[in-house]
Structures are given as C-alpha cells and as structure tokens.
C-alpha cells in the first residue's frame, strides 16, 4: 500500500472475502475450548447466552442512535465507546450460543458468508430475541439514556461479576473482561445522574422525569427465568435476583447523592405471564431491529 495515499487501502486486493456487515473477520472464539461443560445442557446454555447477548446487542443499538445527536462531542464519543463495548460482549455471547447449540442459528442462503454471531444478530425475528424490556425503551432525552444506562450497567455488572466463577470457561472469560468495561459504564452514567440532579432546575426536572420513565421496568431485572434457574443449579449462570439486590443498593446510593427519591410509578407487568426473556416484547423492539437489520437482510450474500 502507498502510505502517502490512504485510499489505496480501500481498493487493494485482499485474499480473504469479507462480509459487508460483520464487525470482525476472525472467529471470536478461535483458540477457546467451546466444549459444553459436563452435566450442562447445551440448548440451555445457548438460550442463556442469547439472553445476555441480546441485552448487550439491543443496548448497543440504542446507544448507536445517539451518533450526531449527543449534547456534546465528548458525550457522543463516550456513548459510542460504551456501545462498542456492549457490541463486543454481544458478539462473544452470540458466538458462544451458536457453538453450544448450532440449531439456534437461523437458516441462510446456501453459500452465505455470514458468521454465526452475525446471523443471530441480523436474521432472527423479534420473537426469537430475549432482551429485558428496559433495553428496548427509546432513548428519550439525555437524562432518560443516562438513567437507563445506570440501571442496566449496574445490574449487568453484578451479573458478570458472578459469572467470573462460571463453570463455562467462555462465559467466565467474557465476564472477566466485561466487568472492567461495565464498571466504567456504570460510573460514567451514575455521575451524570447526580450531575443532572444537582444542576439547574431544568436538568433536575429532566432527571426526575427520566426516573419515571425507567423505574417501571425494574421489576423484570430480578425475575429468574427457568433457564437461568437450571443453569444456576449447575454452576454456570448467575442469579439475576441476587445481582439485583446488590445493584439496587448501589442505585439507592446514586439517588441519595442526587437528593432524589424513587418514583412512585407502578411496575410494568409481564404480558400473559411472559416477559422479555420469554420472547414477549414491547412495541419498540420491532422498529429497532428493522433499523439494525435492514441492510443485512437486503443483501444476505453481500461481500466487500
């Protein structure tokens, strides 16, 4: 490549065919033992990885929607970097799901170059996704985004902390790296919550309004799905209800630092006893997936 011409690198001949919509071009689990641990059901492990991966994927897509819209350039960069961290977690978790149970990968045209984790991201329909409802809530203003991010990152941090001791080596490795990332996500968002609460009358009113948007969705975070329960029993998964107990104590500290009270809003219930982990979603998930998947579905054989 001619280093004096940056454009040469865009057109130089490459031996490897690269898919147009991928985020990486090597197997994300290359060199990692993906054997399902003894006594663990592969289908259950795959379902659990989809739950955790979908939380990260949908959250990353929401944060990507802030591009060119954040209140300051510094915050735009911060939100983009947090989204990239979550996208990286999603990629590893979706790849783990495919390795544990290949049947979860949707069928694609013969010869399609799409990696398994990308197939799970771009070619599943909404009912096959498993994110909690809070990840699906629209961005709203900056206050809504930072309150949502504070809650989700605080809870997910505790889930991944527990998963560092998972019997599944892939989950343990993903968690080990994710804990460092989520510690920053949580602290970044929590500082903004306190800053807005202690700022002007307008910023405080926005923050209080954001609490009212986010708080109804908290009950689902302590709900234990049967898949999670079965994997907790064999030392693979984290108990989300235990994670929520720790997370809620931290959130209480954030509220106290901002001289705030938890809003008295009613919890958003399940839909016929089903929630996000069961594939029952809000009306917001479909449009979000349409936006995320449109190019991949239009060109399933695309290469660059």
pLDDT computed for residue 272 by the predictor = 80
pLDDT computed for residue 24 by the predictor = 45
The DSSP 8-state label assigned to residue 105 in this structure reads S
What rounded mean pLDDT belongs to the chain?
90
**From CA 244, how far away is CA 250, in angstroms rounded?**
10
Per-residue confidence at 199, pLDDT binned at 50, 70, 90?
very high
Bridge-partner residues for 19, per DSSP?
303
Q: From its phi and psi, is residue 194 left (phi > 0), alpha (psi between -120 and 50) or beta? A: alpha
Per-residue confidence at 111, pLDDT binned at 50, 70, 90?
confident
pLDDT computed for residue 233 by the predictor = 97
pLDDT computed for residue 4 by the predictor = 55
Instruction: Encode 221-251: b = buried (16+ Cβ within 10 Å), e = exposed.
Output: bbbebebbebbbebebbbbbeebbebbbebb
- Residue 222 predicted with pLDDT over 80: yes
> In the chain, what are the domain boundaries?
39-261+277-298
Q: Out of 27-36, 135-144, 198-207, pick the least confident.
A: 27-36
CB 118 within 8 A of CB 21: yes
How large is the average pLDDT for residues 237-260?
A: 98
State the pTM of this model: 0.90
**From CA 81, how far away is CA 77, in angstroms rounded?**
6
**From CA 243, how far away is CA 248, in angstroms rounded?**
9
pLDDT computed for residue 304 by the predictor = 58
Can you name the CATH fold of 39-261+277-298? Ferritin (1.20.1260)
CB 95 within 8 A of CB 27: yes
Crossing angle of helices 169-197 and 73-100, in 10° steps, is 160
């Amino acid at each position: 490549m001619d280093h004096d011409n940056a454009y040469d690198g865009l057109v130089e001949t490459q031996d490897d065919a690269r898919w147009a919509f991928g985020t990486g071009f090597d197997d994300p689990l290359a060199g990692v033992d993906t054997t399902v641990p003894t006594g663990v059901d592969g289908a259950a492990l795959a379902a659990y990885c989809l739950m955790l991966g979908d939380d990260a994927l949908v959250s990353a897509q929401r944060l990507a929607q802030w591009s060119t819209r954040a209140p300051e350039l510094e915050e735009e960069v911060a939100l983009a970097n947090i989204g990239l961290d979550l996208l990286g977690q999603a990629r590893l978790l979706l790849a783990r799901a495919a390795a544990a149970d290949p049947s979860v990968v949707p069928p694609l045209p013969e010869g399609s170059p799409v990696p398994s984790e990308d197939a799970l991201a771009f070619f599943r329909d909404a009912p096959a996704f498993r994110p909690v409802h809070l990840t699906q809530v629209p961005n709203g203003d900056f206050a809504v985004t930072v309150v949502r991010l504070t809650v989700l990152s605080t809870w997910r941090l505790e889930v991944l902390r527990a998963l560092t001791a998972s019997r599944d080596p892939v989950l343990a490795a993903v968690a080990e790296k994710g804990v460092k990332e989520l510690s920053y996500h949580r602290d970044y968002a929590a500082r903004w919550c306190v800053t807005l609460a202690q700022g002007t009358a307008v910023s405080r009113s926005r923050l209080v309004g954001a609490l009212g948007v986010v708080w109804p969705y908290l009950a689902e975070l302590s709900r234990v799905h049967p898949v999670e329960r079965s994997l907790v029993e064999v030392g693979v998964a984290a108990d989300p209800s235990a994670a929520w107990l720790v997370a809620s104590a931290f959130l209480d500290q954030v509220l106290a630092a901002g001289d705030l009270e938890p809003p008295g809003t009613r919890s958003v219930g399940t839909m016929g006893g089903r929630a996000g982990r069961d594939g029952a979603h809000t009306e917001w998930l479909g449009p979000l997936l349409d936006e995320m998947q449109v190019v991949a579905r239009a060109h399933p054989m695309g290469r660059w």
